[in-house]
Structure formats: structure tokens, C-alpha cells
Amino acid sequence: METGVGDARWQAMLEEIFGGLTEWRTAHPKATFAEIEQVVEDRLSGARARFVEDLAVQGSDERERRSCPECGQPLVSRGQAEREVTVAGNRQVRLRRGYATCPACGAGLFPPR
């Protein structure tokens, strides 16, 4: 699935965030600047994590064979693997991408470069 800045899912997510922020502000008319800042950061950090996740897996085609960065030999696919990483805002991103190893030197790559 191709993902981009103009992707309808991203636009819908941003509209939801901004709509939610407007509703929150209406419900909290006496919020301090710090409270407003924290709510905006919380909402945007969630979106940032989803953007990172989408972009990280974009173009990860398991069929694409690449060479080992250590010895130059063609990599062998070992199927899909999943890893969870923490991004800015202390958000968890789950990456599911192809895992490959080099039959010559044994190097393992996630994702294959």
C-alpha cells in the first residue's frame, strides 16, 4: 500500500485531531497555556508515531533482493519479522518488515537494506 502526505488516511487523521482539539478547547475554556500545549503535544505525538510507522514500512517489498552491506553477497529472505520501537513523544511504533540474512557472512538485517 502506497502512503504519502496526500494520502486520504493521513488527511482524515489530521482532521480528526484538529476537530478533537477544537472540541477539547470548547470544553476547557479556562485551560492554561501549559495545559493547551500538553494536549496538542499528546495528540500530535500520536499522529507523528503513525506517520513514522507508515513511512518506515513504505516500499518494504520482501521480493526485492539486496546485497549484504558487509560482503556484497545477495541476501536471503527469512520472511517477515516484527519489532517495536519507541519514537519521540514516548510512543510505540510496531514495524513489520522483511528480515534477511547473508548466507556468506551470516549478517542479519531488519529491514533488509
pLDDT (0 to 100) of residue 75: 87
pLDDT for residue 7 is more than 60: yes
pLDDT for residue 112 is more than 80: no
pLDDT for residue 3 is more than 70: no
pLDDT for residue 86 is more than 50: yes
**Do residues 87 and 93 touch, judged by C-beta distance below 8 A?**
yes
Over range 42-62, report the average pLDDT.
78
Neighbouring-strand partners of residue 67:
74
Residue 1: pLDDT band with limits 50, 70, 90: very low
pTM of the model: 0.56
Written as one letter, the residue type at 43 is R
